[in-house]
Amino acid sequence: MPYDGLRAVMKEPWQVMVGFTALAVRDEAKRSLNTWMTGGRPRAPRLGLATALKTSQALAVRDVGWRAIVTQDMEGNDAILAGTRTLGFGPSLGLRDLSYDFA
């Protein structure tokens, strides 16, 4: 999520000091989560903040019994694709997210 979008939700400066990342339950029975969004200050790009946030979050949820984190990256978004590869994400079999374009 771009910083401006994050700020639209978190309006007060004290709400986001450096960055934010969130997960939502994808499948309770399979103990899987879906990474929802990550945002940070635009003045701190490429310092590894998003990687550190997501790594810390993954370790925390693993420690309380979750078994998987799923993400949906858009083809062509090379920065996001590179980031998720750095974190160890890879293609999965099974559920596939689809969308319909009304245009």
Q: Examine the pLDDT at 103 and tell me if it is beyond 60.
A: no
Give the CATH number for residue 34: 3.40.630.30
Task: Note whether residue 98 is domain-resident.
Answer: no
Task: Note whether residue 100 is domain-resident.
Answer: no
For 74-85, what is the mean pLDDT?
79
Please count the structural domains in the chain. Answer: 1
Q: Examine the pLDDT at 39 and tell me if it is beyond 90.
A: no
Q: Which pLDDT score, from 0 to 100, does residue 64 have? A: 93
- In the β-sheet with 32-40, what is the strand arrangement from edge to edge? 19-27, 32-40, 68-70
